[in-house]
């Protein structure tokens, strides 16, 4: 089981930026993703990245504003968030899985496709 630790959350005003990090305890994963959950809402996928190919997948709500990246030497994934909106407020979680195989790329943003989860980091965007 991979241990994941998120960092970088905080409070910003609309239009601001934050960079989240997710450090993995080892390299035994093939895909990682960022998810978020607002109070009273279901957890939703934000972005995912494949460790070997570097291929990325984004939710439509964050395309053009968020960028997912990774440093495989450090076993760390990042989420650069720009032009933040109030609706981006949520607890952000990183997750990983040891297989990259999926029936379709859209499934990369499904929480059920991941096995290991971090504790989360809060992002709050206010006007």
118 neighbors 4 (Cβ within 8 angstroms):
yes
CB atoms within 10 A of CB 89: 18
What pLDDT does residue 98 have?
A: 92
Instruction: Read off the pLDDT of residues 78-92 as tens digits, 9 standing for 90 and up.
Output: 999 999 999 999 999
Averaged pLDDT of the chain: 96
**Which DSSP letter does residue 41 get?**
S
Closest listed residue to residue 121, CA positions, set 84, 87, 94: 94
Specify the pLDDT at position 17: 98
Confidence band, pLDDT 50/70/90 cuts, at residue 19: very high
φ and ψ at residue 107, rounded to 5 degrees: -70, -10
pLDDT at 100 over 90: no
């Amino acid at each position: 089981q991979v241990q994941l630790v998120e960092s970088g959350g905080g409070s910003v005003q609309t239009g601001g930026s934050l960079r989240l990090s997710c450090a993995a305890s080892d390299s035994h994963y093939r895909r990682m993703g960022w998810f978020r959950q607002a109070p009273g809402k279901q957890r939703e996928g934000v972005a995912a990245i494949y460790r070997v190919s570097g291929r990325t997948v984004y939710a439509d709500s964050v395309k053009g504003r968020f960028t997912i990246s990774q440093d495989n030497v450090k076993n760390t994934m990042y989420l650069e968030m720009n032009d933040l909106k109030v609706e981006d407020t949520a607890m952000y979680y990183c997750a990983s899985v040891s297989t990259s195989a999926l029936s379709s790329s859209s499934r990369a943003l499904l929480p059920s496709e991941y096995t290991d989860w971090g504790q989360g980091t809060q992002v709050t965007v206010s006007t």
